[in-house]
Amino acid sequence: MNTIDLIGAKVIEQAIESRKKKDGDNFAEIPDFRPGDTVNVAVRVVEGEKERIQNYKGIVISRRGAGVGQTFLVRKISNGVGVERIFPLFSPMIQSIAVMRKGNVRRAKLYYLRGMSERKIRQKTK
Amino acid sequence: MKAAILGKKLGMTSFFKEDGVQLPCTVVEAGPCPVVQLKTKETDGYSAIQVGFGKRKKNRTNKPLEGHFKKNNVDPTQNLKEFRDLPAENIVENKLTIEQFKKGDKVKVSGTSIGRGFQGVVKRHHFSGVGMTTHGQSDRQRHPGSIGASSYPSRVIKGIRMAGRMGGKTSSVRNIEVIEIIPDRNLILLKGSIPGSKNSLVEIVIN
């Protein structure tokens, strides 16, 4: 293992530690999930002094990177407008990632879902 | 406080701050740098600390160098560098170590930038190129354009920026934040990028 990977592993460890400290019993491990899965990401939102949890639910359409830099892209339709958000997988700002529904897709990047209706998306990720 | 050290750039990775912000960071293996010579105003005309960094093979060390290292009982090092007017308090056990720095310090990092070879003006000097493929030209997109006037002055003015060798020169970046220090492995994490390729020698300084 080279030093850069070692540092990366250490940063991941630190991020998990900081989540454990913050959440205590509510701490949730990062689950296995793939593009096509519907996930609910609980994100910490800091408003002034206070911190609260905001849920962001949608379909994972891409995962990229390796080590600390890993990210995933979640797409959802909010009030008729498509919204896409990129999360760093190991970010301490994520409280939990919950897999709501397993998808069955043949591609690693589901960018073709962008123009589709919700019904079509459901068929495609069955 | 003044501080200085030599190091080897190892590469880049990510770092999460306490508040969840993700930062790009460069990992540098810095020190420990043994002090090879103490130069003083009386004997040398200026005061400086000469330090070494990295291992030098015995068969690559010539006799004069060997003698120079022997004077201060130091194993021969790959690199030698002087830091001027560095206070003697920075030396711990005849070495400059990473402990001189702390989290949050703003440092200046110098190194040799990555050599890019012979490059045109667009890459080398950020010219925008002549540009168009219409109006009778189709082959001058990345050219410099005019380099001066005609019969007066009948020559090209000195210092006009043109194509040529790019990179491979000493380059410095100031105000780089120290994100983290790992003393047991002599590692220092710096925010953002620094000059040089991987495994190149860099100088980290607080002035």
Amino acid letter, A23: D
Q: Is pLDDT larger for residue B102 or for residue A122? A: B102
Range B105-116 average pLDDT: 93
* Whole-number average pLDDT of chain B: 89
Nearest residue, CB atoms, A3 vs list B15, B19, B27: B27
- The secondary element (H helix, E strand) that includes residue A121 is helix A118-124
Question: Whole-prediction pTM value?
Answer: 0.82
Please give the Cα distance from B33 to B31 (Å, whole number).
5
| CA–CA distances in Å: residue A4 to residues A8, A10, B148, B169 | 6, 10, 49, 26
The answer to whether domain B3-116+176-206 has CATH 2.60.40.10 is no
β partners of residue A90:
none
pLDDT of residue B190: 93
CB B35 within 8 A of CB B60: no
Range A52-73 average pLDDT: 90
Residue B141 has pLDDT above 80, yes or no: yes
CB B143 within 8 A of CB B130: yes
pLDDT band of residue A23 (cuts 50, 70, 90) is confident
Instruction: Kindly calculate the radius of gyration of chain B based on its CA atoms and give it in whole angstroms.
Output: 23
Nearest by Cα to A5 from B30, B12, B197: B12
Q: Which residue has tokens 């495609």?
A: A124
Answer whether A69 sits within 8 Å of B19, measured CB to CB: no
pLDDT of residue A26: 78
SS3 B49: strand
- The secondary element (H helix, E strand) that includes residue B108 is strand B106-112
Residue B151 has pLDDT above 70, yes or no: yes
Q: Is pLDDT larger for residue A68 or for residue B18? A: A68
Cα-Cα-Cα-Cα dihedral of B173, B177, B179, B185, to 10°? 50
Answer whether A3 sits within 8 Å of B187, measured CB to CB: yes
* Per-residue pLDDT tens over the stretch A75-121: 988 888 889 999 999 888 888 899 998 888 888 999 988 887 777 77
pLDDT of residue A1: 65
User: Does ipTM come in above 0.85?
Assistant: no
Range B48-76 average pLDDT: 87
pLDDT of residue B138: 81
Give the nearest chain A residue to B22 (CA atoms): A91
Residue A125 has pLDDT above 80, yes or no: no
Chains A, B: CB contacts within 8 A come to 46
pLDDT band of residue B176 (cuts 50, 70, 90) is very high
* Nearby residues of B166 by Cβ (< 8 Å), 6 or more positions away: B115, B116, B117, B118, B119, B123, B124
Range B48-53 average pLDDT: 90
β partners of residue B49:
B38, B83
Nearest residue, CB atoms, B13 vs list A4, A14, A88: A4
Answer whether B16 sits within 8 Å of A15, measured CB to CB: yes
* Per-residue pLDDT tens over the stretch B85-95: 888 778 888 88
pLDDT of residue B3: 87
Range B35-52 average pLDDT: 88
Residue B44 has pLDDT above 70, yes or no: yes
Q: Where are the domains of chain B?
A: 3-116+176-206, 117-166
pLDDT band of residue B97 (cuts 50, 70, 90) is confident
CA angle (B103 as vertex; B98, A51 as ends), nearest 5: 155
| CA–CA distances in Å: residue A110 to residues A34, A58, A119, B133 | 11, 13, 15, 37
* Whole-number average pLDDT of chain A: 87
- The secondary element (H helix, E strand) that includes residue B43 is helix B41-44
- Chain B within 8 Å of A19 (Cβ-Cβ)? no
pLDDT band of residue B114 (cuts 50, 70, 90) is very high
Nearest CA of chain B to the CA of A86: how many Å? 13
Answer whether B10 sits within 8 Å of A14, measured CB to CB: no
- What is the percent of chain B where pLDDT is above 90? 37
A3-7, B8-12, B71-75: which has the highest mean pLDDT?
A: B8-12
Optimal mutation site among A1, A2, A5, A11, interface B, most CBs of chain B within 10 A: A11
